[in-house]
């Protein structure tokens, strides 16, 4: 079947036979508008692939566009560390730090221009957000909807008063519907999953679909190598259902994959679905027809739980269950991002009482806990709002935590050794702490991990070996650089979880004649380790310290990371 015929067939599944033909008539001019791009690199992922996650204005310098500051900092200090940069939404917006988009095709003038974005793409692959579930209530599109302009009449989702929406899964403890008044004077209740300023788009409308495909193709023509489908799980709404992970949502993901495979082969789709693991990995589809990557959302809270309890047993058990869906897919392994640490992915892995205990530990360390509303009207923890550094803080009786840098670096080593593509939030590699002052200014819990830093102050601290930022940044960069040249850390390299006792998370990775035993002591006590590797001629070399190691005589210091390789 020709590619366009596949697209037509998928549209018929989404909209029905007649509706599918109408949708194709809307979509075809969009596809014809953009010239097809040449195929990208062979194979989606490599051992050198590591992504930096950052806002366009996470680093600031007087008199310089923030995107220019970001680009120069990345080129000068992160070259050879990161292969790709995820610039969080850099478009004009009205709220939610960029995720309430006013204009999808413009760069926020406070950040810079498309020229600055393209300049960064000359040195790093780029990931853009396709914020497709909702749009700003201040956007021109929404103004056109309120004015009932042609082509915009069904942009939003109108819900009749009294409609039973009790089955809808809620990611927030906020009202699901918001009232708006059209230009005609008609009052309507519209679906607003995330906030009153974020109006959900109606993908039941072929006009909406065509507009968002236009945005998608515009992004890849502006240099995007990765497309992040933001909040994709909630895309399709059907009264009387949970309105999450509906079959039509998966069909839309398949449609985007088909379009990109046709128009921009090699561009990677990554889905953002902060939900329990089994639901999350459903977006791999059959391994070839949906996302090439999914966020490994279970890892951040489970890793935090591991270090707080100084016990890797549960983490090891869960990691042992991770299986690749195909050689075309992989996990996006991270610990922190612009959002908080979601705890829904722990459902089914640990009891709710343990999740509550984890939330309490975060509160003790100066963080906050955001809740969601359950169908029965109760609320439960949804997200831990805290910097990952402070989440791991363990202050002693003297008010100090002398091992915080070592504990944090040990936690960050785990995403680097698991199969997948590691991703690092800029505030993690810079060792940032809770920005409580920011929360007081904005009144939003997520601000705690979104501080805007002065670039020159950061550089000054990185040049001071005694500063906390320097004690995190330089060893972290060395770990990533070391990882990038090891064949055994390729995303498709064989992986087995070893049982080295509760204090140690141990992984064996193998590829191209190399075996690496990656060990992380998750505790504040020394740990003895015996590895089944004594038969390796010449023993092992620790890639982290450079020292030789004897497999049956290993002792790991508190929070020590050792990558023992059979190839020096």
Q: Per-residue pLDDT tens for 316-329?
A: 999 999 987 898 99
Q: Which of 456, 485, 514 is the last residue of a domain?
A: 485
Sign, Cα dihedral of 19, 22, 28, 29: negative
- For position 504, which CATH number holds? 2.60.40.1180
Q: Are residues 301 and 444 in the same domain?
A: yes
Output the CA–CA distances (angstroms, integers) from residue 435 to 58, 387, 438, 450, 467, in the order listed.
13, 8, 5, 7, 18
pLDDT band at 42 (very low <50, low <70, confident <90, very high): low
* Contacting residues for 549 by C-beta, under 8 A, at least 6 apart: 539, 540, 541, 542, 562, 564
Q: What domain count does the chain have? A: 2
| Cα first-last separation, the chain | 50
Q: Are residues 426 and 552 in the same domain?
A: no
Q: Are residues 310 and 331 in the same domain?
A: yes
pLDDT at 435 exceeding the cut of 80:
yes
Q: Are residues 274 and 295 in contact, defined by beta-carbon separation less than 8 angstroms?
A: yes
Residue 536 confidence (pLDDT): 61
Do the domain assignments include residue 333? yes
pLDDT band at 537 (very low <50, low <70, confident <90, very high): low
Q: Are residues 364 and 463 in the same domain?
A: yes
Q: Are residues 352 and 475 in the same domain?
A: yes
Q: Are residues 444 and 401 in the same domain?
A: yes
Beta bridge partners of 134: 200
230 classed as catalytic:
yes
Q: Are residues 478 and 532 in the same domain?
A: no
- Quick: pLDDT tens for 69-78: 999 999 999 9
pLDDT at 534 exceeding the cut of 60:
no
- Quick: pLDDT tens for 182-203: 999 999 999 999 999 999 999 9
**Which of the 8 DSSP states describes residue 60?**
E
Among residues 346, 349, 386, 396, the alpha carbon closest in space to that of 366 is found at: 386
CB neighbourhood size of 208 (10 A): 21
Output the CA–CA distances (angstroms, integers) from residue 567 to 93, 169, 517, 539, in the order listed.
50, 50, 11, 9
- For position 384, which CATH number holds? 3.20.20.80
Cα separation, 76 vs 168, in Å, equals 48
- 3-state secondary structure at position 111: coil
**Average pLDDT of the chain to the nearest whole number:** 94
Q: Are residues 535 and 544 in contact, defined by beta-carbon separation less than 8 angstroms?
A: no
Q: Which of 485, 503, 525 is the last residue of a domain?
A: 485
Q: What share of the chain is helix, strand, coil (3-state, %, to 5)?
A: 35, 20, 45
pTM (two decimals): 0.96
The range of the structural domain enclosing residue 339 comes to: 297-485
Residue 564 confidence (pLDDT): 95
Q: Are residues 538 and 437 in the same domain?
A: no
| Catalytic residue of the set 57, 108, 230, 339 | 230
């Amino acid at each position: 079947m020709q590619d366009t015929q596949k697209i037509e067939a998928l549209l018929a599944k989404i909209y029905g036979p007649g509706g599918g033909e109408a949708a194709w008539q809307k979509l075809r001019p969009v596809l014809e508008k953009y010239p097809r791009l040449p195929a990208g690199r062979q194979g989606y992922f490599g051992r050198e692939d590591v992504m930096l996650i950052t806002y366009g204005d996470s680093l600031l310098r007087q008199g310089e566009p923030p995107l220019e500051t970001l680009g120069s900092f990345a080129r000068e200090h992160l070259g050879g560390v990161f292969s790709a940069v995820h610039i969080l939404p850099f478009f004009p917006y009205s709220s939610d730090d960029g995720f309430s988009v006013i204009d999808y095709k413009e760069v926020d003038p406070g950040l810079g221009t498309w020229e600055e974005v393209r300049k960064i793409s000359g040195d790093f692959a780029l990931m853009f957000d396709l914020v497709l579930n909702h749009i700003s209530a201040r956007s021109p599109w929404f103004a056109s909807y309120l004015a009932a302009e042609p082509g915009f009449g069904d942009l939003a989702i109108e819900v009749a008063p009294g409609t039973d929406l009790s089955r809808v899964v809620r990611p927030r403890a906020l009202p699901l519907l918001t009232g708006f008044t059209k230009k005609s004077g008609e009052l309507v209740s519209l679906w607003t999953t995330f906030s009153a300023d974020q109006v959900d788009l109606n993908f039941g409308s072929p006009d909406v679909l065509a507009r968002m495909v236009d945005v998608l193709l515009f992004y890849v023509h502006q240099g995007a190598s990765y497309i992040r489908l933001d909040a994709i799980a909630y895309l399709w709404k059907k009264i009387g259902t949970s309105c999450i992970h509906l079959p039509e949502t998966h069909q839309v993901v398949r449609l985007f994959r088909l379009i990109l495979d046709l128009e921009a082969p090699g561009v990677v789709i990554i889905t953002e679905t902060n939900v329990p693991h089994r639901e999350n990995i459903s977006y791999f589809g059959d391994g070839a027809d949906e996302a090439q990557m999914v966020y490994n959302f279970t890892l951040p809270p489970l890793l935090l739980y591991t270090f707080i309890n100084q016990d890797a047993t549960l983490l090891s058990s869960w990691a042992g269950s991770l299986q690749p869906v195909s050689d075309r897919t992989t996990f996006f392994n991270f610990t922190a991002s612009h959002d908080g640490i979601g705890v829904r992915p722990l459902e089914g892995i640990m009891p709710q009482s343990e999740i509550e205990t984890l939330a309490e530990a975060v509160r003790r360390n100066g963080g906050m806990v955001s809740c969601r509303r359950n169908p029965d009207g109760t609320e439960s923890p949804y997200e831990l709002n805290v910097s990952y550094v402070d989440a791991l803080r363990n202050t002693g009786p003297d008010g100090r935590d002398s091992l915080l840098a070592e504990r944090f670096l040990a936690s960050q080593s785990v995403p680097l050794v698991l199969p997948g593509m590691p991703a690092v939030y800029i505030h993690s590699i810079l060792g940032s702490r809770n920005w409580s002052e920011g929360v007081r200014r904005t009144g939003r819990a997520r601000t705690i991990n979104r501080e805007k830093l002065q670039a020159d102050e950061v550089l000054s601290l990185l040049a001071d070996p005694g500063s906390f930022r320097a004690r995190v940044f330089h060893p972290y960069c060395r770990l990533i650089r070391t990882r990038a040249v090891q064949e055994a850390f390729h995303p498709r390299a064989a992986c087995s979880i070893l049982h080295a006792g509760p204090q140690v998370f141990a992984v064996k990775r193998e590829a191209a004649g190399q075996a690496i035993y990656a060990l992380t002591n998750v505790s504040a006590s020394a740990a003895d380790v015996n590895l089944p590797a004594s038969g390796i001629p010449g023993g092992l070399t620790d890639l982290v310290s450079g020292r030789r190691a004897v497999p049956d005589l290993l002792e790991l210091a508190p929070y020590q990371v050792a990558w023992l390789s059979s190839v020096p």
